[in-house]
Amino acid sequence: MKKNKSSYCIFLVLFASLFANAQNFSAGLDEKKAGMLLEKVRTQQATEDEKKALQEMALAAQNSGQWFDERNHDYKKSMQNIDHAIVFYTALGDTLNLAFNKKYKGHLLVRLGKLPAAKNEIQAAVYLYQLSNTGAGVAAAQFELARIFEYENKADSAVYYAGLSRAYWQLQENNLQLVVINNMLVYHLLQLNQTEKAQSVYQASQLLLKKQAVHWQPLLDFYFTAMLLYRQINDMSGANRYRDLYYNKKAELQAQGITARSYYERDGQ
C-alpha cells in the first residue's frame, strides 16, 4: 500500500509539471488527448486501446527527446520531452521504460552540469532496473555513473564504473555497447597516462567495428579517441589519419542536417 501511495504521489507531481509546461509539448502531441488519457489511466478507467495510445505518446516523446539530444545537442529541449515520457510511463506503471527515461534524464542533467540531480535520477533508474531484475539496465546505469565522474574530472572513478559496465556487456557479447564503453575507457586511460591499457582497448574496438556497423556517434568517438591515442604515442601519421576520418564524417553528417561532434572533443583539440 505504501509503495502504491508513493507511486501515486510521484505521478501527481509529474502530472502537474506536465501541464504547467504545456507549451513545451513535443511537436504534434495532442495535449488535450494526453490529459484525457492520463486521467483515465490514473483512475483505472482506460481501455486497452487507450493505454496503447498513451504508450505510443510516451514512445514519441522519448524518441523526440533523443532526437534533440543527438542531432541538435539541445539538452533542455531534450529533457522537456523525456520528462513527458516519464509522466506517461509513470501513469502506465511501465517500470522498464520508466527506468530507461530516468537514466536518460540523468545523462541530460550531466550535460547541463547538474551532477547531484543526475546522480539521483540514475540511482532511481538502478533501483527500478533491480526491481525488474534487469542486468542490462544496471550495466547501462553504471555507464551513466561513469559519465558523471567524467564530468567531475574523476578519471579513475569513470574507468572503474565503465569497467563494471563493460564486464557485463562482454558476457552478453554486445558489440555496440562495448564500442561505446571502450571509447570512454580509451579517453580516460589516456588521461591517467595508462597508454598500454588504452591501446589494448582501442585494438579491441577495431576488431568489434570489423564485425558490426555502429551508430555515427560511437563511430565519431572512436575516430576522435584513436586520434588522441596516436598523438600520445607520438605517431602523427596515425593521428592525422583518424583526424581526417573524424572531420570527414562530421562533414558528411552536417550535409544531412546533423550537427555532430565527439563527446570527447574539447576546445583546442
How do the pLDDT tens digits run along the chain, 269 residues long?
A: 333 443 334 333 343 343 333 334 454 567 888 888 988 898 999 999 999 999 999 999 999 999 999 888 899 999 999 999 999 999 999 999 999 999 999 989 988 989 999 989 998 998 899 888 889 989 988 998 898 888 889 999 999 999 999 999 999 999 999 999 999 999 999 999 999 999 999 999 999 999 988 999 999 999 999 999 999 999 999 999 999 999 999 999 999 999 999 999 975 55
Closest CA to 159 of 168, 149, 172: 149
Q: What is the DSSP letter of 266?
A: -
Q: What is the pLDDT of residue 220?
A: 97
* Sign of CA pseudo-dihedral 165, 262, 73, 29: negative
79-107 burial code (b ≥16 CB/10 A, e <16): bbbbbbbbbbbbbbebbebbbbbbbbbbb
Would you state the cell numbers that stand for residue 27, as one nine-digit string?
Answer: 511537436
Q: Which helix (H) or strand (E) holds 259?
A: none
Any idea which residue has 568489434 for its cell? 208
Q: What is the pLDDT of residue 5?
A: 40
